[in-house]
């Protein structure tokens, strides 16, 4: 679900999986198809679709995965239902979610200021790393819910280089938020991000950012 640029889909296909990827952003699906072709995985099937209303029949997949994708949809109850609905009995669910720790949390908050407000009553993207929230959302559909905490340190040569990566090369939500802004908004977001990332500068001028996250896994009862 929410395949983004298809990175996880490509890795799954390299391991001989028959893969379908879906994302609501047509731009990302286009990128995913290009990357899959370049990676020698043209058989991956990519669809434009909504993670809150997946265009697949019940019990369509043996495994459902999402790498920092499905967590960004605002209606967590709908996401949980859909991810589990399309999973076959006995199938495995796995996804990654960010932990609400600084400065990564604040960087996402800054970017969110430049997007339309979520619907009333929406949950936070960081709620997916909360065991109680996971039990509430996924518990009715799956069992053996587990979390593994990990970290993906991020290093850039400078605050400016970090911003260029986030907004021009990252192939993720920040890049596509940035692309949809007008010029004054782009300049404002870039300035806000530079200010934050400058607080992460090391003595050698590089930017080092800790980005802790959880790997969530579960199994649908057979």
Res. 107: pLDDT tops 90:
no
Tell me what pLDDT residue 171 has.
61
| Three-class secondary structure of residue 11 per DSSP | helix
CA dihedral 109, 110, 116, 118 (to 10 degrees): 10
pLDDT tens-place string over residues 201-221: 999 999 998 889 999 999 999
Mean pLDDT of the chain: 92
Full DSSP string of 106-170 = HHHHHHHTTSPPPPTTPPPGGGGG-HHHHHHHHTTT-EEEEEEEEE--EEESSHHHHHHIIIIIS
Tell me what pLDDT residue 1 has.
63
**Residue 4 is encoded by which pair of tokens?**
């983004």
pLDDT tens-place string over residues 115-150: 888 878 788 899 999 999 999 999 999 999 999 999
- Rounded to two decimals, the pTM is 0.88
| Three-class secondary structure of residue 54 per DSSP | coil
pLDDT tens-place string over residues 40-62: 999 999 999 999 999 999 999 99
Say how far apart CA 208 and CA 154 lie, in whole Å: 6
Q: In the chain, what percentage of residues exceed pLDDT 70?
A: 99
CATH superfamily of 50-219: Vaccinia Virus protein VP39 (3.40.50.150)
Tell me what pLDDT residue 142 has.
98
pLDDT tens-place string over residues 170-199: 767 788 789 889 999 999 999 999 999 999
Tell me what pLDDT residue 36 has.
96
Tell me what pLDDT residue 160 has.
93
Mean pLDDT, rounded, for 3-8: 91
Closest CA to 197 of 185, 187, 207: 207
Tell me what pLDDT residue 35 has.
94
């Amino acid at each position: 679900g929410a395949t983004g640029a298809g990175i996880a889909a490509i890795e799954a296909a390299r391991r001989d999986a028959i893969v379908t990827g879906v994302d609501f952003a047509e731009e990302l699906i286009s990128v995913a198809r290009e990357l899959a072709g370049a990676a020698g995985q043209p058989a991956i099937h990519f669809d434009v679709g909504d993670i809150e209303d997946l265009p697949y029949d019940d019990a369509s997949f043996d495994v459902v995965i999402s790498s920092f994708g499905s967590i960004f949809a605002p209606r967590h109850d709908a996401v949980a239902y859909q991810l589990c609905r399309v999973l076959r009995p006995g199938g495995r669910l796995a996804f990654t979610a960010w932990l609400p720790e600084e400065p990564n949390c604040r960087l996402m908050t800054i970017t969110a200021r430049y997007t339309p407000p979520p619907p009333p009553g929406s949950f936070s993207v960081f709620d997916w790393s909360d065991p109680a929230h996971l039990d509430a959302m996924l518990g009715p559909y799956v069992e053996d819910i587990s979390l593994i905490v990990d970290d993906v340190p991020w290093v850039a040569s400078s605050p400016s280089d970090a911003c260029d990566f986030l907004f021009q090369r990252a192939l993720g939500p920040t890049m596509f938020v940035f692309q949809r802004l007008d010029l004054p908004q782009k300049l404002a977001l870039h300035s806000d991000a530079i200010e934050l990332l400058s607080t992460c500068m090391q003595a050698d001028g590089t930017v080092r950012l800790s980005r802790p996250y959880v790997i969530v896994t579960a199994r649908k009862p057979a």
